[in-house]
């Protein structure tokens, strides 16, 4: 029986807290998993940024990547390693690069999801370009942006077609505000979207491989309170519905971690923002939900690396479109999309694997999140984000919410 090592790379930017916790828990687990006659062990290391030969080999079996969406050198190194070294990466970099919010709206509208009515408008201003004037003179039609507002109803939302992090999002109440928001949008290509006004629940569902976790979200609260600690805010059936929505989106786009925001109005869940393929993983926003996410990282990394599951390099949308074309109610289609997702994420095999090889993870994580090491990870993240005089207060706040999680009967 040979001992083999799977090398896990963490491709990180400003992340501080989750990698520290992930590394500590992996060390504590000290896994030795029997796979096909071998004993598989794991080594975790942070990926460095440096010049690379396109033909150089890659030492990693799996990389968790949190840089691709803005740091091009790492993204291109990852693409090379997928193409030439059979590297498995969360998330597929081509899919992150190509599928911004706009694409996700279009695709999920086509699958029948009740996405609010959304329009794209040409930008207010442009970078100079010799072809600009002839192009616009010939083809750009004058339009009155306020007419779109009347059509979509007030209040509505103006936001960049490739948005993220609330950049450039404006809630628009009337014609004047719409003109102002459009003037201020500058060179950005914007969407105008009908508001899901009067919603009674706002839920963020985090998906990680086949794992999902729904959090009641309060968009009006300060950043550290937006993920609420409320429980029992929806039925089991609704939770299952949002699981299916999230896994459908994630498997459609080849995203292994992502989060999906949905608003409930009159009992219907409207997804509004689900192109977040490097989802917030910081304790400073997730607090009591942070241990769930760290455990989700551990499980999906270990499963994918141990089993040497093949990364899906291409996106195959056809099976989803085949279901979309059937004459079936949305809920039935959603179940069929989710079945494709469960097959792609190997949900059943994953659950069996976790039960067999990671049964002690809950206990190890529970103990770890009571240690000084865990508290120090929280403090380091808080120190990086908060002014010095608030570090103590917020470290204690997030720590106390993690301790509440440790004390909860249904962790
Ligand atoms: N159609 C809508 N109806 C109601 N509220 C909306 C709508 N679109 C956006 N919002 C509000 O604006 C916020 C920001 O919009 P959105 O989530 O689309 O932007 P984002 O920049 O992708 O945000 P994130 O940081 O969550 O990635 C939402 O959290 C929600 O509160
Ligand atoms: Mg959002």
**Cβ(163) – ligand 1 distance below 6 Å:** yes
**CA distances to 66, 100, 122 from 181, in Å:** 31, 21, 14
Ligand 2: distance of its center to the CA of 30 in Å?
37
Chain position carrying tokens 């990282």: 297
Residue 254 has pLDDT above 80, yes or no: yes
At 1, the pLDDT band (50, 70, 90 cuts) reads confident
Pairwise CA distance, residues 387 & 383, whole Å: 7
pLDDT in tens, 6-39: 999 999 999 999 999 999 999 999 999 999 999 9
pLDDT-derived band at 257, boundaries 50, 70, 90: very high
Q: Is the C-beta atom of 34 inside 6 A of ligand 1?
A: no
Q: Which ligand is nearest to the CA of 166?
A: 1
Q: Cβ(191) to ligand 1 under 6 A?
A: no
Mean pLDDT of the chain: 96
- Read off the pLDDT of each residue in 321-333 and give the average, rounded to a whole number: 98
Average pLDDT (191-202) is 97
Structure tokens at 165: 């992090």
- Ligand 1 neighbourhood includes 157 CB (under 6 angstroms): yes
Residue pair 108/274 in contact (Cβ under 8 Å)? The answer is yes
Given a cut of 90, whether residue 164 has pLDDT beyond it is no
- Residue 126 covered by a domain: yes
124 inside domain: yes
Reply yes or no on whether the pLDDT at 409 is more than 90: no
Atom of ligand 1 nearest to the CA of 196: 3
Check pocket membership of 210 for ligand 1, CB cut-off 6 A.
Answer: no
The answer to the question of residue 138 being in a domain is: yes
Residue 101 CA: nearest ligand 1 atom is 22
Domain housing 143: 117-194
Say yes or no: CB of residue 192 within 6 Å of ligand 1: no
Instruction: Decide: 276 in ligand 1 pocket, CB within 6 A.
Output: yes
Residue-level pLDDT at 150: 87
Q: Does 164 map to a domain?
A: yes
Q: Whose CA is nearest to atom 26 of ligand 1?
A: 165
**Is 177 domain-assigned?**
yes
**DSSP H or E stretch at residue 101:** helix 101-110
pLDDT at 411 over 70: no
Q: pLDDT exceeding 90 applies to what percent of the chain?
A: 96
CA distances from 183 to 9, 58, 127, 160, 176 (A): 44, 48, 15, 13, 11
Indicate the pLDDT class of residue 407, thresholds 50, 70 and 90. very high
Provide the 10 A C-beta neighbour count for residue 376.
14
Q: 172 CB less than 6 Å from ligand 1?
A: no
Please report whether residue 134 resides in a domain: yes
Q: What is the pLDDT of residue 410?
A: 67
301 CA to middle of ligand 1, Å? 30
The response to whether residue 116 sits with its C-beta less than 6 Å from ligand 1 reads yes
CA separation for the pair 381, 395 (Å, rounded):
9
Give residue 204 CA to ligand 2 midpoint distance, Å: 9
Q: Which ligand is nearest to the CA of 154?
A: 1
Residue 123 counted as domain residue: yes
Q: Phi-psi category of 39—alpha, beta or left, where left has phi over 0 and alpha has psi -120 to 50?
A: beta
pLDDT tens-place string over residues 86-140: 999 999 999 999 999 999 999 999 999 999 999 999 999 999 999 999 999 999 9
Which residues have beta carbons under 5 A from ligand 2 (an ion)? 261, 273
* C-alpha of residue 106 to centroid of ligand 2, in Å: 17
User: Which CATH number do you get for residue 187?
Assistant: 3.30.1490.20
Given the CA of residue 168, which atom of ligand 1 is nearest to it? 21
Query: Could you tell me the pLDDT band of residue 149, with boundaries at 50, 70 and 90?
Result: confident
| Residue 315 near residue 105 (C-beta atoms within 8 A) | no
Q: How far is the CA of 274 from the centre of ligand 1 (A)?
A: 10
CA distances from 285 to 229, 237, 382 (A): 11, 27, 10
Q: Mean per-residue pLDDT for 214-226?
A: 95
Residue 154 domain flag: yes
> Does 355 have pLDDT greater than 70?
yes
Instruction: Please give the distance, rounded to the nearest whole angstrom, from the Cα atom of residue 337 to the centre of ligand 2.
Output: 23
Torsion of the alpha carbons at 209, 210, 214 and 215, rounded to the nearest 10: -20
pLDDT in tens, 268-305: 999 999 999 999 999 999 999 999 999 999 999 999 99
Give the model's pLDDT for residue 123. 96
How much distance in Å is there from the Cα of 161 to the middle of ligand 1?
Answer: 12
Count of structural domains within the chain: 1
Contact assessment for residue 235 and residue 168, using Cβ atoms and an 8 Å cutoff: no
């Amino acid at each position: 029986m040979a001992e083999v090592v799977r090398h896990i790379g963490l491709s990180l930017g400003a992340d501080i807290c989750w990698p520290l916790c992930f590394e500590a828990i992996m060390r504590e687990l000290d896994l030795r998993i029997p796979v096909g006659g071998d004993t598989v062990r794991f080594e975790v290391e942070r990926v460095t940024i440096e010049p690379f030969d396109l033909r150089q080999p890659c030492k990693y079996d799996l990389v968790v990547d949190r840089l691709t969406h803005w740091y091009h050198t790492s993204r291109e190194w990852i693409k090379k390693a997928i193409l030439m070294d059979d590297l498995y990466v969360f998330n597929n970099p081509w899919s992150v690069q190509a599928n911004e919010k706009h694409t996700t709206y279009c695709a999920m509208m086509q699958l029948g999801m009740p996405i609010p009515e959304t329009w794209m408008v040409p930008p207010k201003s442009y970078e100079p370009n010799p072809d600009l004037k002839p192009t616009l003179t010939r083809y750009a039609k004058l339009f009155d942006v306020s007419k779109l507002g009347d059509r979509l109803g007030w209040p509505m939302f103006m936001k960049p077609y490739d948005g993220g992090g609330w950049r450039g999002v404006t809630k628009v109440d009337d014609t004047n505000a719409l003109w102002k928001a459009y003037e201020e949008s500058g060179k950005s290509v914007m969407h105008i979207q009908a508001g899901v006004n009067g919603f009674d629940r706002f839920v963020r569902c985090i998906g990680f491989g086949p794992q999902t976790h729904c959090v009641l979200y309060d968009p009006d609260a300060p950043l550290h309170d937006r993920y609420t600690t409320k429980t029992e805010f929806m039925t089991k059936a609704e939770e299952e519905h949002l699981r299916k929505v999230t896994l459908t989106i994630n498997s459609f786009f080849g995203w292994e971690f992502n989060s999906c925001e949905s608003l409930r109005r009159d009992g219907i869940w409207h997804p509004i923002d689900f192109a977040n393929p490097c989802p917030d993983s910081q304790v400073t926003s997730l607090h009591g939900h942070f241990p769930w996410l760290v455990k989700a990282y551990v499980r999906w990394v270990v499963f994918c690396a141990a089993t040497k599951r093949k990364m899906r390099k291409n996106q195959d949308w056809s099976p989803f479109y085949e279901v979309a074309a059937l004459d079936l109610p949305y809920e039935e289609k959603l179940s069929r999309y989710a079945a494709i997702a469960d097959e792609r994420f190997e949900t059943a095999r994953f659950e069996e694997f976790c039960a067999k090889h990671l049964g002690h993870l809950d206990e190890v994580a529970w103990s770890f999140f009571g240690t000084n090491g865990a508290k120090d990870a929280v403090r380091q993240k808080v120190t990086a984000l908060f002014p010095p005089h608030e570090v103590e207060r917020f470290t204690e706040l997030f720590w106390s919410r993690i301790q509440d999680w440790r004390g909860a009967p249904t962790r």
